[in-house]
Structure 1
Amino acid sequence: MTGMLGHPVAENPIDLMFDAVYAHYDLPWQFWKSDIASEADLAHAVRALVPLGYRGVGITVPYKVAVIPMLDAIDDDVKAIGAANYVTVEQGRLIGHNNDGKGVVKAIEKVAPLRGQRVVMLGAGGAGRAMAAELAWAGAEQLTLITRRQEQGEEVAAMVTRVSGVPTTWQPWQGKVVLPEGTTLLMNATHLGCAPELEPVPLDWNSLAPGTVVVDVITNPRITPFLATARERGCPIVDGVEMLVQLAIQIFEQWTGITPDEAVFQRAVAEALGE
């Protein structure tokens, strides 16, 4: 038994992808997505993981921070970042890990090097805070976090600066986002653009310089309206499905002890999305 705890989870193709990979490697494993309505319900679900026989679970929005006090131990990445995106069950103990940012770094560096990038990130929730830290550790020159919640944005900016030494600032999200001059990489770390609503990201597209790398964390659809507009403007893009594949490979290996072939994951997620 493996799975994911979060809200919402319906549109995420991760269960279909993992089940296909389990089948490929002849593992009698299953992946269950559970839509958890509240932090109180999350506590019940986490307590049930060991008696139900789970090997591990992914943790997604909005519980990547809230889950931490419910665990028996956390790794160094979770300690630094302050969020967990998956749990392993080891000898009856729940151990929290975070590889959100590691998957993002691998996906982006297939398209462009991160060293020297001047990054703007929209949103700074549980996934965003991990991604911001990992982008800084990977060599980004500067980060600007644009969020609607000042307390959250300033806290994450301070964390990134503290753990990486990379200058990170907060900017309020008011109306259409105007990008700071010199931005070379733009990332949407919000749920805007997710199926089925496909809400547009309120961005002043005229402030986007040609050649800016544009990244979206949304997994369904693969090409969001945000990425489609960026591609039309000639920008290189990185989609959330590629990030999902990269972090899922790492989680699969942690849970099973098997180093999988990336092509198996790529085929599985393409089939899950009906591509």
Structure 2
Amino acid sequence: MALVCVSITATSTGAAQAEIDIAESNEAEMVELRLDFLAEGENWESLVSYGKLPKIVTNRASWEGGNSDESEEVRLGKLIRALDIGADFIDVELKAAETYEQLIQGTPKKGLKILSYHDFEKTPSLEELSQIYAKMLEKGADLCKIAVTANDISDCARVLHVLQAATNPTIMLAMTERGMLTRLLAGKYGSMLTFCSTNSGKESAPGQIAVAELRSLYRFKSIENLTKVYGIIGNPVSHSMSPAIHNAAFKHRKVDAVYIPLLVDDVEKFLKSFDEFKFNGFSITIPHKEAALKCVDVVDEVAERIGAINTIVRLKDGRTKGYNTDWMAAIGAVERALLSLDPEYRRRQEAPLRIREDEGVERPLNGKHVVLVGAGGAARGMAFGAVERGAKALTIVNRTMERAEKLVGEMKSMGKPCECTAMSIAAFQAGEAGEFDVVMNSTSIGMHPNEGDTPVDSDLLSESMVVFDAVYNPRETRLLREAKDKGCVVVDGVEMFVGQALKQYELWTETKPPKSVMEDAVLRGLKLK
């Protein structure tokens, strides 16, 4: 298992001590003292012996991404002094290795030397990374550290390749959000440690994760070679509650698995780059649901009819299979809301509708006019569900008419008695959709941090209309708030989000999901519980 090392980036001695205290309280196993962050004149030597944790002392040169503009003799001299007073490790740049050796010539060895290499612009080729690593060994590194920049998440595959082949104690990572998986999976692929921050905003390098989040949300200390890996593929993904909901479920059921965010620009490129690593499954979110369907080995029949997937499962034979768990979660939530308008249903106080394919099951969408905002991957599942479940009419409203018309054509090809129409946003806002019973927003309009936006003018809403918003962060979007003021029955995205996640967990583990645990994880993440 990799160690948890917190980088101390304070500018004063007192603040640095406070950060070391935070590291200790969050059960970090090591700290990195960044001398180049400290203001001139601060008593850095006192920090080497402060607290109980082992120390890596770093005084990063400005020519390799740090803050120190001191002469090499002064800068490296501080590292030599750090070893003299008890530092466990010092970090010397590979480019400064020869100068460092000249400065310590003839003195007894103390502590351990990390030789490091940083590239803040790119990830070198596999051959170049291997050469850098070999040079570190040649220069006598006790521990090798390579930190590069991931401009695309596929760059991480090269980092993991070299890390897995390492023969010495090694730290390897890719910086930026696109490289985050190398930090989170350090223990699985053999890195000695991962660097993290005390809190958000205190990072010493792009992509670092706060120590509390690393240990609790991702259960970093339980990740090892055999740990299964799942994740959410999307752009953006930093807002997603998926890691919270699935990691809570894995923890509750004691499943040796971790679920991580994957900021992906090109889903096909990512899946090809990481195919040999055999990750166990993925959630797919905006904007990759349609493109991902073409990247799996097998597609579930319903998902193929919808034309988009939100779930990938690694089958036992190694192939990948795509599913769509969105549509039933969204349509089920809307149908339950419609049933709540039925006095007879309320009187009976029945349990929420169980969506089944049985003949004779109540189908509250029968005879309803549904307006669907959006024509992307999420919209495809909702459109399919509305038509499949008996809607009288479906109006697809989208910024790009071509996409809306294409989706309308596909819905018509289902052969169901549903009148499907494409409409521009301007025409919809002008009232050209006429009367409708249900409006469903499948877009990210209104999602954090753009909470002030709404996809539907409130003048179009009326009492007893059902309004569904797939956005779940924030839980009450502007659309839902204005709909509630108009007397509409509102359905937030949390119900859909939890519903689709429950089915994903079942597909991945072939076991019943812990529903209450997963619901609680989302509500806590949204600070609603």
* TM beyond 0.5: yes
Give the equivalent residue in structure 1 for 2:307: 82
Q: Does residue 4 of structure 1 match 2:224?
A: no
Q: Is the 8 A contact 2:437 2:466 kept in 1?
A: yes
- Bigger radius of gyration among the two: 2
Q: Does 1:18 align with 2:246?
A: yes
Contact 1:2–1:32 (Cα < 8 Å) also in 2: yes
- Give the drift of 1:164: 5.0
1:36 to 264, 269, 278: 264
Query: Distance in 2 between the 1:43 and 1:155 partners?
Result: 23
Query: 1:68 aligned to 2:321?
Result: no
- Check the 8 A contact 2:309/2:324 in 1, yes or no: yes
| In structure 1, C-alpha distance between the alignment counterparts of 2:251 and 2:467, rounded to whole Å | 34
The match for 2:420 among 158, 168, 171 is 168
Contact 1:6–1:63 at 8 Å: present in 2 too?
yes
The correspondence of residues 1-275 of structure 1 with structure 2, limited to 5 A, is 1-37=229-265, 39=266, 42-90=267-315, 91-112=317-338, 113-165=364-416, 166-174=418-426, 177-179=429-431, 180-275=433-528
Q: Equivalent pairs: percent with the same residue? A: 30
So what's the TM-score if we normalise by structure 1?
A: 0.93
Q: CA deviation at 1:47?
A: 2.2
Partners of 1:236 and 1:264 in 2: how far apart?
26
Q: 1:202 to 1:137 in 2, by over 3 A?
A: closer
Deviation at 1:72, TM superposition (A): 1.1
State the TM-score, normalized to the length of structure 2: 0.50
Offset at residue 178 of structure 1 (A): 3.7
Matches of 1:17 and 1:263, distance apart in 2: 10
Return closer, same or farther for 1:172/1:8 CA change in 2, 3 Å cut-off. same
Q: 1:30 to 1:164 in 2, by over 3 A?
A: farther
Give 2:472's aligned amino acid.
Answer: T
C-alpha contact 2:456 2:479 (8 A) present in aligned 1: no
Q: Could you list the runs of 5+ residues in structure 1 that have no partner in the other structure?
A: none
Other structure's SS at 1:153 match: helix
RMSD: 1.6
Aligned-pair distance for 1:49? 4.5
In the aligned structure 2, how far is the partner of 1:103 from the partner of 1:215? 12
Match of 2:39 in 1: none
Looking at both structures, which has the greater relative contact order when contacts are Cα pairs under 8 Å and sequence separation is at least 6? 1
**Partner secondary structure for residue 198 of structure 1:** coil
C-alpha change, 1:175 and 1:150, in structure 2 (3 Å) is: closer
8 Å contact kept, 1:214–1:227: yes
What residue number does 2:149 align with? Answer: none
Deviation at 1:51, TM superposition (A): 2.8
Q: Give the conservation status (yes or no) of the 8 Å contact 1:121–1:144.
A: yes
- For the 8 Å contact 1:175–1:202, the answer to whether it is kept is no
Question: How many residue pairs were aligned?
Answer: 272
Whole-angstrom CA distance in 2 between matches of 1:15 and 1:164: 39
Q: Structure 1's 108 and 202: CA in aligned 2 closer, same or farther, altered over 3 A?
A: closer
